[in-house]
Amino acid sequence: MIADNRVNTPLDELEIGHVFRSPGRTVTETDVVNFCMLTGNWIEIHSNTEYSSKTRWGERIVQGQLTFSLISGLLQFGPAIQANYGVDKLRFLHPVKIGDTVYATGEVIAKKDKDDKFGVGTFLIKAYNQNSDVLQRSEWSILMLRKRADLEELMAQATPIFKD
């Protein structure tokens, strides 16, 4: 699979049905502990080896929100994206374990103009593991620039001119 994970197309150029695909990223012990530290989410299923060995999964599992957070790095949203507009129908379908490799896809499922400059693209986002199990599924609505000219103007204004 060739990664096509840079979501930076203006809304008017997005095609319904196009699927963005990410490379993989292995979730490590360090990721889980750092996420515990950052969020304060020390729930025992994530942080206590003895406790989690007695659970349904028999081992610690990765926080669902950590996996959700990794998706926005796996599917890289560029400057055409202006804001997260909302997430709907989020489901945690399969546990992620330390050592699993996570991949993500984002299928364009809807487009809606807001005005002449902005619109909302909706993506069906799925996270998978190395066994092709679907880990998470959700619909992300993203506020986007509609036209390439607006993106190019923004980039010209936001990028410094380097003088030699």
Distance of CA 122 to the CA centre of its chain: 13
For 144, the token pair is 């986007």
The size of the chain, in residues, is 164
Q: Is the CB of residue 92 less than 8 Å from the CB of residue 72?
A: no
Sequential pLDDT tens for the chain (164 residues): 456 888 889 999 999 999 999 999 999 999 999 999 999 999 999 999 999 999 999 999 999 999 999 999 999 999 999 999 999 999 999 999 999 999 999 999 999 999 999 999 999 999 999 999 999 999 999 999 999 999 999 999 998 888 87
Burial of 11 (0-12, 13-18, 19+ CB in 10 A): buried
pTM equals 0.91
CA distance 138 to 157: 34
Partners of 137 in the β-ladder: 91, 126
Helix or strand holding residue 49 (H, E)? helix 49-53
For 91, the token pair is 């489901």
